[in-house]
Amino acid sequence: MNHTIIQAKNLSKIYDKDGSAQVIAVDNVSLEIYQGEFVAIMGASGSGKSTLMNILGCLDKPDSGTLILDGSEVGNLVDEQLAKIRNQKIGFVFQSFNLLARTSALENVELPLIYSDKQNITQLAKDALQAVGLADRLDHYPSELSSGQQQRVAIARALVNNPEIIFADEPTGNLDTRSSLEIVALFSELNQAGRTIVLVTHEADIATHTRRIIKIADGKIISDEANHNPVDAKTELEKIANAEVANENK
């Protein structure tokens, strides 16, 4: 088995609402994620899956429990060290893309590199955009790109610093079926190339493309199963394309 990237023990996160009612967003969750995995964290809206992902991705801090990321205990780290982990080890993809407006695709992808010590920023960013199939859209502003393309820019941004793990929070939530499949296909491709990917989604059919499905309800893990026969997004895309061709020929 590959080495453990994430080792979470008894993570809990509690929100106080108006001081009276407490909401337990993450309830005593323990899990491990290994290098090279393609994991879906599934659950209904409000199940705590996003909070869990934010904690695993060092964007948020748990109220209790420990998190060991790539060998180091996150709870003991200060702001500067956390920033370095987010910069070097983690890539994020968000539902709403979170690209900087009026900023070219290239510059958006350069963003994580700016906060690293790396040189050749522009070349690295170009390579990442090429990897997501947008080599010809370097100078386009987000407003000039389709939603699917915008999400691919965001994936390039997540990839550019060559992180250990990519967290994607509902990456297909704002996309149509076809673009969703394209994005999932891209994730599969990246995973096949060895990248660890954690995908948070509430859509069962998106989760079927992954190789491990963790289901969350009320902040607790209710199931954690391997998916031995992940659906191949590329095949599905071909099916859609064929159906379209058939439709046109009618």
Show the site string, 30-49: x = touches another protein by CB under 8 A, - = not: --------------------
> By CB under 8 A, is residue 102 in contact with another protein?
yes
> By CB under 8 A, is residue 100 in contact with another protein?
yes
For another protein, which residue of 24, 111, 185, 217 counts as binding (CB under 8 A)? 111
Token pair for residue 213? 């499905």
Q: CA–CA separation, 74 vs 89, rounded Å?
A: 12
Q: Count of CB atoms within 10 A of residue 15's CB?
A: 12
State which amino acid sits at residue 195.
R
What separation in angstroms does the CA of 179 have from each of 81, 112, 195, 212? Answer: 36, 25, 21, 22
Q: How far is the CB of 206 from another protein (least distance, A)?
A: 21
Token pair for residue 110? 């350069």
For another protein, which residue of 43, 92, 180, 209 counts as binding (CB under 8 A)? 92
Nearer to another protein, 79 or 248 (CB): 79
Question: What single-letter DSSP state applies at residue 22?
Answer: E
> By CB under 8 A, is residue 140 in contact with another protein?
no
For another protein, which residue of 27, 43, 52, 88 counts as binding (CB under 8 A)? 88
Nearer to another protein, 22 or 96 (CB): 96
Q: How far is the CB of 8 from another protein (least distance, A)?
A: 17
Q: CA–CA separation, 206 vs 177, rounded Å?
A: 10
Q: CA–CA separation, 140 vs 142, rounded Å?
A: 6
For another protein, which residue of 9, 84, 178, 234 counts as binding (CB under 8 A)? 84
Buried/exposed 110-131: b ≥16 CB within 10 Å, e otherwise: bbbbeeeebeebeebbbebbeb
Question: In terms of Cα–Cα distance, which of 216, 197, 202, 155 is closest to 6?
Answer: 197
Q: How far is the CB of 247 from another protein (least distance, A)?
A: 40
Q: CA–CA separation, 162 vs 40, rounded Å?
A: 21
Show the site string, 64-83: x = touches another protein by CB under 8 A, - = not: ---------------xx--x
For another protein, which residue of 16, 18, 117, 136 counts as binding (CB under 8 A)? 117
- List interacting residues with another protein (CB under 8 A): 54, 57, 59-60, 79-80, 83-84, 86-88, 92, 94, 98, 100-103, 107, 111-112, 114-117, 157, 161
